Structure 1
Amino acid sequence: MRPPHPEAHSSSYYPSRQRSYSSERRYSRPRTPSPQGFRGKEMSYRGPRATIPDFVHPNPREFSRLNIALENLLPEDATERFKFQILLDYLKLEEALLIADSYCNSRYPFTDTMAALDDQFGQPHQLALQHIAELMDGPT
């Protein structure tokens, strides 16, 4: 018969060892990972840096990629004005810039601009309509 696994400390294998739920067990500090991470893996990403794409064409896919990049790369604690300034750097489509300009004096310029751009370019049905148009314009 195989001996129990060393980490299997149940009361059936060790009758004299009763599990106690004392205060020291309940309030023990959680283990923190080592600087190298879990099991020696590194905790940092060393691949290519993520970028924010320009919004150049009235393409829902292009807007979706811009939106995802901004959500992932902009700091959560950044101010609305900071986020708005970054957004303006990547808006190249004239129609999108006009929308952004209309919210530049808003109390929440980034949030309001992104909501308006989402209404204009980010609806799922627009992506489907664009795909259908591309198929219709293609060769027979």
Structure 2
Amino acid sequence: MVLIAKLVNTLQITVFVKSGEDLSIVMSKLKEIVPFDFKKEKIKIEETNATGVDENPIKIIRILLLKGRLIKPFIELMKNNLSSDQKKLILKQINSRLDENMDFFIRLDKDKLLNGEYFLTDGGNCFHFKMNIACFPKKRINAEIAIREIFA
């Protein structure tokens, strides 16, 4: 078994809630994929108000997980719910998903995730996941090895 907690330093989850969408449904899904007592674990939910292109209000919800014991269950949940084809696609796209800070990005279709399906998307209405990959020395090749271990 891979020690995922040692492979990911931080996990940031961001989702946009547009005017007319039910914030409580999105918050419920966040608490489902990060199944901890947010207050007890001191997980801060950051809410920011913004205006969309069409001048409609948007609420940006962001949580940041800093502890491996909180990150690991989410990574396991994602691994278990992505199809083998989706995991293969992640591995095929490592170069475009990994930046120079060793941050690895995944987007899951929001509507599908709210209905229980983990499905990759390249944009649009989605949940954004930013994982800072733990590797030493901090080089791209080492981050790629860690990502392959996570999604193997």
TM class by smaller structure: under 0.3
Q: How high is the TM-score relative to the length of structure 1?
A: 0.28
Q: How high is the TM-score relative to the length of structure 2?
A: 0.26
Greater relative contact order, per chain length (Cα 8 Å cut-off, separation 6+): 2
**Structure (1 or 2) with the larger CA radius of gyration:** 1
- Structure with greater strand share of residues: 2
